[in-house]
Amino acid sequence: MSPEVHRRNRLNVVLQMVTALITAILLGQLWLFTVTLDAMETPSASMTIVVAAALCSLVACSAVWVLIRFFLTTEQMETGDRS
């Protein structure tokens, strides 16, 4: 296996790991969304929960966009495609 092919294979693994991480973060965001909806419908629910869930969702969203930038940069390195 040439060094070039070896490097591409390693990058492919990185890309798959990044995709798995983004999917996990999305599942976490879905859970935060359901927690917030539940708190919205429950008058006795604490505001702290709602604010914390919104902040965590913001952090998760930022993390996803950072990971996507990393993903696209890595893909460019792999394919040399700059389109």
The count of chain residues that interact with another protein, using the rule CB under 8 A, is 35
Instruction: Give the residue, chosen from 9, 19, 24, 73, that forms a contact with another protein under the rule CB under 8 A.
Output: 19
Please list, in sequence order, all residues whose beta carbon lies within 8 angstroms of the beta carbon of residue 45, skipping any fewer than 6 positions away: 38, 39
73 CB-near residues (< 8 Å, 6+ apart) = none
Q: How far apart are CA 41 and CA 51, in angstroms?
A: 15
Name which position in 23, 24, 73, 77 contacts another protein (CB under 8 A): 23
The site for another protein (CB under 8 A) is made up of: 15, 19, 22-23, 25-26, 29-30, 32-33, 36-45, 47, 50-51, 53-54, 57-58, 60-61, 64-65, 68, 71-72, 75
